[in-house]
């Protein structure tokens, strides 16, 4: 397979994913509205005390981001699986890992990046102190791609199952735990002026590992689901 062919295949896949996403843009807004609604439920559930909200803000925002991500992951491969496109992709002979990566990149741009962009609004609602906001954004910029990468493995494993969505959450939430711990620890530390670069550094290395390994795991999972 020539390098050029691979490159253009990647580009073509990305373009297709964006076109599909644009056509379904009403659907794509749903996880984001979900993100906002879930965040709103927390003050209503625990009371509007500004100090309490500020304390739980990093955790609440990150949990809301996890939940919103899982919502958008379920449909990652589903429609292509159902209409046979996925099978064609597997048979095409192009590197399946690359195809998976293209899908993951598109997913992050369409589902993960908006979470990053919405985070200042969520931070305002949860009363996050100003010192925490830049770190929150950084943690989301590093973390949401990891959510897409790991989530894609789960999405690929459950795509052929009827109630795949529920199982998907069950599968990926434990995998997300280290990410959640590191991210909220970083933001919490930044708020009280403690060092946070260690946590962010670990997250970056996690991202690199996920970037190199997840596409292959996803490809294997897709082949499994199609067999």
Q: Which helix (H) or strand (E) holds 225?
A: helix 197-226
Residues 151/76, Cβ–Cβ less than 8 Å: yes
Nearer to another protein, 12 or 29 (CB): 29
Residues 43/121, Cβ–Cβ less than 8 Å: no
Window contacting another protein (CB under 8 A); options: 36-44, 73-81, 146-154, 198-206: 36-44
Minimum CB separation of residue 124 from another protein in Å reads: 5
Of 3, 4, 44, 51, the residue at the interface with another protein (CB under 8 A) is 44
Rounded CA separation 6/190 (Å) = 42
Residues 173/195, Cβ–Cβ less than 8 Å: no
Minimum CB separation of residue 29 from another protein in Å reads: 7
Minimum CB separation of residue 33 from another protein in Å reads: 5
Which two three-digit tokens encode residue 192?
Answer: 């009280």
Name residues whose C-beta falls within 8 Å of residue 146's C-beta, 6 or more positions apart in sequence. 179, 203, 206, 207, 210
Minimum CB separation of residue 65 from another protein in Å reads: 18
Of 14, 16, 21, 40, the residue at the interface with another protein (CB under 8 A) is 40
Of 3, 4, 48, 163, the residue at the interface with another protein (CB under 8 A) is 48
Task: Give the single-character DSSP code of 94.
Answer: S
Minimum CB separation of residue 27 from another protein in Å reads: 7
Residues 147/179, Cβ–Cβ less than 8 Å: yes
Of 8, 49, 197, 212, the residue at the interface with another protein (CB under 8 A) is 49
Interaction residues for another protein, span 109-168 (CB under 8 A): 124-125, 127
91 binds another protein (CB under 8 A): no
Minimum CB separation of residue 182 from another protein in Å reads: 28
Window contacting another protein (CB under 8 A); options: 32-40, 66-74, 108-116, 153-161: 32-40
Which two three-digit tokens encode residue 217?
Answer: 């795991």
Residues 110/28, Cβ–Cβ less than 8 Å: yes
In three-state secondary structure terms, 191 is helix
Binding site for another protein (CB under 8 A): 26-27, 29-30, 33, 36-37, 40, 43-44, 47-49, 124-125, 127
């Amino acid at each position: 397979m020539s390098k050029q062919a691979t490159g253009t295949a990647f580009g073509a896949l990305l373009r297709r994913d964006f076109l599909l996403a644009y056509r379904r843009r009403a659907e794509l807004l749903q996880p984001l509205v979900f993100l906002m609604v879930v965040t709103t439920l927390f003050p209503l559930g625990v009371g509007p005390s500004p100090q309490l909200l500020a304390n739980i803000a990093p955790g609440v925002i990150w949990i809301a981001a996890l939940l919103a991500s899982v919502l958008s992951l379920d449909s990652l491969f589903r429609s292509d699986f159902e209409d046979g496109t996925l099978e064609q992709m597997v048979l095409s002979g192009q590197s399946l890992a690359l195809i998976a990566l293209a899908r993951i990149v598109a997913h992050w741009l369409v589902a993960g990046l908006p979470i990053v962009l919405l985070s200042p609004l969520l931070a305002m609602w949860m009363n996050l102190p100003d010192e925490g906001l830049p770190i929150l954004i950084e943690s989301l910029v590093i973390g949401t791609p990891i959510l897409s990468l790991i989530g894609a493995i789960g999405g690929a494993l459950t795509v052929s199952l009827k109630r795949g969505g529920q199982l998907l959450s069950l599968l990926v939430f434990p995998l997300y735990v280290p990410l959640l711990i590191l991210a909220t620890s970083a933001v919490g530390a930044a708020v009280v002026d403690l060092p946070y670069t260690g946590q962010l550094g670990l997250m970056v290395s996690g991202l690199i590992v996920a970037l190199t390994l997840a596409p292959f795991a996803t490809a294997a999972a897709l082949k499994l689901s199609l067999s």
